[in-house]
Amino acid sequence: MVLCALNRQLLRSSSSCCVFMARLQTSSRRRRCLYSSTHGFNQEETRQKLRAFPGGSVDLLKQDSGVAVLTINNPARMNAFSGSMMVDLEEKVSQLESWTEGKGLVVRGAAETFCSGSDLNAVRAISSPQDGMKMCMFMQDALTRLLRLPLVSVALVEGRALGGGAELTTACDFRLMAPGSVIQFVHKHIGLVPGWGGAARLVRIVGSQNALKLLGGAVKVDPERGLYVGLADGVLEADGDAPSAGTPLQQAEDWLRRYTEGPVPVIQAVKKVVLAGRELPLLEALQTEKEVFGTVWGAPANLRALASKSKHK
């Protein structure tokens, strides 16, 4: 009887793991958005509404190394997200979802500061609660898909990452902080809570007690505290201390290289199996791991490695 139940569970998990794999592999335009009309959400309609709040840009540089750089670019507003930048972000995530040669991603802000969240002028102008919710759902979808990219991603935090900017750092696999930088979930100070998925991701990164402290206390997280609570994965060298270390972007790319060195299909497979382990119940995660394993077993990188005599350190 137990075996039958397990078989039924495996069958159920097999179908949902295929859905998970399909979600990872469908082309970006066909990818299912987190929200639909049943939630009162229409992505194209929201895109048009957001475009009514112009300013700044989100720029994407895809490099031959397989590492892309996404820059939040609105320095006159401390890289605050205008409405059109939210649309830009979603479009760049779509491009990255279709980038078959991608292995890594650095997310950073222009002019040596990260991002100060939503453009408060746009927030004030987004009058109706319904439109506020649509912005929230639009950004939750974009940031969830950013985190689900089959790329190893790192947020390069210089200056300040505030509000939605702090939430954006949690939509990357890792966070590197420059000396003097601050990640602060300031939402409480404006009578809000995170809305772009930052609370759900923060609990998974630092645990519920630390998340409650960082949100409830709107705590200024400097590099030392970031390392202590597990929000930061590394601290950059200060410019003057080690000129050989290079610019903050060079340091971030050097740091990322150890986790993206290798064939594209293998690095993408690594991210997919970790994603499954992070998001799925055990049996579905195991099924997805099996599916992903099947894509690399006997593939060129595997056969080349088996044919070579070199020992792996």
Closest-CA residue to 71 (of 80, 61, 62, 81): 61
How far apart (Å, rounded) are the C-alpha atoms in residues 201 and 182? 18
Residue from 89, 172, 176, 186 binding ligand LZKTLF4L (CB under 6 A): 186
Least spacing, CB of residue 152 vs ligand LZKTLF4L, in Å: 25
In terms of CB distance, is 150 or 164 closer to ligand LZKTLF4L? Answer: 164
Does the protein bind ligand LZKTLF4L through residue 118 (CB under 6 A)? yes
Among 56, 104, 163, 197, binds ligand LZKTLF4L (CB under 6 A): 163
119 contacts ligand LZKTLF4L (rule: CB under 6 A): yes
**111 contributes a contact to ligand LZKTLF4L by CB under 6 A:** no
Establish how many alpha carbons lie within 13 A of residue 120's alpha carbon, considering only the half-sphere containing its beta carbon: 10
Q: Does 120 bind ligand LZKTLF4L (CB under 6 A)?
A: yes
Beta bridge partners of 81: 118
Tell me the C-alpha to C-alpha distance, in Å, between residue 278 and each of 102, 204, 251, 288, 302: 21, 9, 27, 12, 25
Decide if residue 78 touches ligand LZKTLF4L (CB under 6 A): yes
Q: CB pairs under 8 A, 24+ apart, for 121-126?
A: 121/53, 122/53, 122/81, 122/82, 122/83, 125/53, 126/53
* Distance of alpha carbon 291 from alpha carbon 280, whole angstroms: 14
Say whether residue 160 binds ligand LZKTLF4L (CB under 6 A). yes
Residues 193-252 touching ligand LZKTLF4L, rule: CB under 6 A, are: 194-196
Name residue 221's beta-bridge partners. 183
Which of 57, 121, 295, 302 touches ligand LZKTLF4L (CB under 6 A)? Answer: 121
Q: Which residues contact 32 (CB under 8 A, 6 or more apart)?
A: 23, 26
Q: How far is the CB of 175 from ligand LZKTLF4L (least distance, A)?
A: 17
For ligand LZKTLF4L, the binding residues (CB under 6 A) are: 77-78, 80, 116-121, 123, 160, 162-164, 186, 190, 192, 194-196
